[in-house]
Structure 1
């Protein structure tokens, strides 16, 4: 029998609430993270006996585990570095992410060979480590919220160890439709689905992603779907399906966006773009799914087809490098920079730079761009939600026109008041940018208010608490 501790509420995620850096002098320094989970755990209060189980992501984290350094209410797991790399980079980010975002060039990839099988074994071991830690930390009948595609196997593994627990799993990405999901080897597709079905409740950011998961369960496992589509039954167990569309933290964003450092960034941005020019703003990580290259191509077509915008608009593109340990992401980041340079060379003048590209992450500068944006461009190939689409209208100074991909999860809530585009269609996206730039001021103001209201309907603390309470239903 596993010896349990006192935790009544547990969260499991790849990334935890704190990270550690190892200095040249051997000293450890810590940095706290943010986001919905942090807000949610704060909302339940210290009396809840909550524990956050997470992975040691770097050498500083691993050294903290070796020294027994940690935060109250957090347990960091240090699996062997090679196991972590294979589970995180080779499987989670290079297979599962690509499947759920429909990113494979199928004439060439994926290729599921013996190397892949070794990597999959590491992913299984990684999930086993989380299941074991959760089993040890949880009090009898505790509630456990497992987060995302990194930990898809944990619910079933934990259920086998601790059938007394109430287990939820939340997927932050889209979910692939059955035909695409079945690119995976049959046994692994089944293992992923059965892993999540070990939960009492499986939740998603939109109904579309929940329905896709249910369809995969029926197609791959032969599972039974309830008449209302809200529950999946497989091998005698029923897992309920839920939807929680993570919203923006309006109170935090409004307060944070009016601090002095943001005001300073506004002054600096205006000096770089010009005081009177319209601004098309995007803020993204350089992930393949974000579709930054097609956004730049659409902007170039806008300038070609509507020369009246020459010298009157600037595309402010903040593209923060992501997953640079993977070659395909490094190449994509380089491609974004190269295309921005080409557009500036083609159209720029001594007093006008058409594209202002920034690649160094600066949250205050992002908020400054949000406030100044006349148009926000959010055109992902596919996104679980996309919080940028929700954040910009919340802090906009003068109203913003949102050009939004129909493949973003945020489309389900914001589509009625956005200018919606097919993310693959360059011509249509260019036309949408022109429409957005010429939107009447009153229309833009009304849309912005409705967008902000929808964006803040389920703030992070309530998003977390809703999942927690749903486990009791």
Structure 2
């Protein structure tokens, strides 16, 4: 039996499916990556290795002798997990100095290169004694879990673990290594920010994989181009192959779908209905919605500025439209993010002061992460705004149209991964063009009911074509093909 069909998959990521709280509560891990992988873990027999995030995570891991254990979630589902505790100082360097912001900023084009970054000893040591240490800790756990298995399959995830595959490959040349990257892959020049030695170590770690997956063909092409231009490697762009030490690395695009049934189930929850009732009591004639993390890449400030311009240029919409923005504070211990959240609140205050009236607040800002509240708003928006500067996929762009009941129009940045699939039925925008965004808000709010319905039905059709099981099966099928030595 092929190892892709036989032994348990070993998943490895920074965040796991669960995190344990001091009061004993078990919470689902946050973020889109966890959402994607919970589908994979429930679809296949899998051991999920991840970093311990809290003191209680460490305590629970210790209770199980650092070995895998079954974690039950309150809302159903159970996962076989192994939580790995790293030295706190090393983890801080890994996450807060190197992975975020260094790699995240590179892979979202966020650096203002005339001002930042300044790479000094702190950043270099954060890579050596932080990023590499955590990768080594997780690699050691992977090697223990696959010990004794013939041709095991290891699936690593995202930008936190670029050097892990090389560590596993060195000890287990027979292992099948697959790496999925959930954020954009940028063009070669952005990577020249990194010192050459660090950049080479990252690429060599990734090229130890058999298959590297991305959300879009655009990111796939960028990675191939980086391998050619930065590593001077032979690359087959047509077949998606990098030739590395007599080893063929397949580079593929697997767009991440949403779990439509699960999203619809949330839309039917009583708590969602409570939020919906409150929303409907307070809504004006039109509702614009955004649901995001308060991340620099999400371009929240330009979204609010465009709304400001729209109200200035179309005063007939004043007191008729409300912009609801549900933002989850993100990485507030990173100075750039704390400052960004302050700037968001300041811009909202300015727009509300400039256009508001005693009984109408143009922007309603909610700084919290609440799934039922977000889905209640999904059902009732007239315009869904997703104007990220760059985004790996953006699942909001898929979830919103799926459950929307008002023929809502999607305004979608051309630089999101989701645009490659959804662009035909959305209003596409350049996320840096504030006037175009303001014009798109006006176009969406004045669009005919027939056109609104046509676009929403088109989006729903695309969003429901594939589910997370298909996403997993596509990757497992490629694993089996490559194991058999089939062509591409």
Class of the TM-score when normalised by the shorter of the 2 chains: over 0.9
Deviations 1:56-75 (A, max 9, x none): 01222122223327632211
Residue matched to 1:9: 9
C-alpha displacement of 1:331: 1.0
Question: Does 2:107 align with 1:100?
Answer: yes
Question: With structure 2 as the length reference, what TM-score do the two structures score?
Answer: 0.91
- Kept in 2, the 8 Å contact 1:211–1:229? The answer is no
Aligned pair partner of 1:260 in 252, 263, 270: 270
Change (3 A) 1:62 1:450: same
- Which structure 1 segments of 5+ residues have no match? 1-5
C-alpha displacement of 1:250: 1.0
Deviations 1:137-194 (A, max 9, x none): 0122111110000001111111111111111000000011001111111111111111
Residue matched to 1:3: none
Deviations 1:43-92 (A, max 9, x none): 12xxx3x2111000122212222332763221111010111111112111
Question: Does 2:453 align with 1:445?
Answer: yes
**Inter-partner Cα distance in structure 2 for 1:71 and 1:267:** 41
**Inter-partner Cα distance in structure 2 for 1:424 and 1:472:** 42
Deviations 1:297-319 (A, max 9, x none): 00000000011111111111111
- Kept in 2, the 8 Å contact 1:37–1:464? The answer is no
- Kept in 2, the 8 Å contact 1:380–1:408? The answer is yes
**Inter-partner Cα distance in structure 1 for 2:38 and 2:121:** 39
Residue matched to 1:302: 310
**Inter-partner Cα distance in structure 2 for 1:94 and 1:457:** 35
Instruction: Provide the secondary structure at the position in 1 that maps to 2:278.
Output: helix
Query: What are the equivalent positions in structure 2 for 1:293-442 lying under 5 Å apart?
Result: 293-442=301-450
- Kept in 2, the 8 Å contact 1:9–1:144? The answer is yes
- Kept in 1, the 8 Å contact 2:221–2:237? The answer is no
Instruction: Provide the secondary structure at the position in 1 that maps to 2:110.
Output: coil
Question: Does 2:64 align with 1:68?
Answer: yes
C-alpha displacement of 1:7: 5.3
**Inter-partner Cα distance in structure 1 for 2:319 and 2:211:** 53
Change (3 A) 1:119 1:227: closer
Instruction: Provide the secondary structure at the position in 1 that maps to 2:342.
Output: helix
Structure with greater contact order relative to length (CA < 8 Å, sep ≥ 6): 1
Query: What are the equivalent positions in structure 2 for 1:114-153 lying under 5 Å apart?
Result: 114-121=121-128, 122-138=130-146, 139-153=149-163
Question: With structure 1 as the length reference, what TM-score do the two structures score?
Answer: 0.94
Aligned residues: 458
Aligned pair partner of 2:117 in 85, 110, 113: 110
- Kept in 2, the 8 Å contact 1:273–1:356? The answer is no
Aligned-residue Cα RMSD (Å) equals: 1.4
**Inter-partner Cα distance in structure 2 for 1:404 and 1:101:** 17
